Structure 1
């Protein structure tokens, strides 16, 4: 049963979590992203060699 599965998962130290919802972008943020990508479409391979990309992470301090 669902209850048994939940108890077994909790006993193993695993808990169910709802996925985080992505932040809703404002119209200004959308326009800025389109401009940013448009400028990068024209970069050469040598220019891309100087670009550093990283994953975005959400941190909550409080």
Structure 2
């Protein structure tokens, strides 16, 4: 199949990049946030929780568009 040939050539199915454009105000807010936290100690950073939300679909098609790279 076409898919097998593409995989054999080392290409992978990926989702297209969808970057959110930031407004000038959002950029300024992010810089201010970073400047306020740049001198935090390790003990202070240990109390910070970061999360990464990811979508996984194991058994059915999720309807997302994919491109081959």
The TM-score normalised by the length of structure 2 is 0.54
Name the structure, 1 or 2, with higher relative contact order (CA <8 Å, separation 6+): 2
Q: Which has the higher strand share?
A: 2
Please identify runs of 4+ aligned residues in structure 1 that moved more than 4 A: none
CA gap 1:37/1:56 in 2 versus in 1, 3 angstroms? farther
Alignment RMSD (CA, Å): 2.6
Rg larger for: 1
Q: Structure 2 unaligned runs (5+)? A: 7-12, 55-69
Number of residue pairs matched by the alignment: 49
Q: CA deviation at 1:26?
A: 0.3
Q: CA deviation at 1:18?
A: 5.0
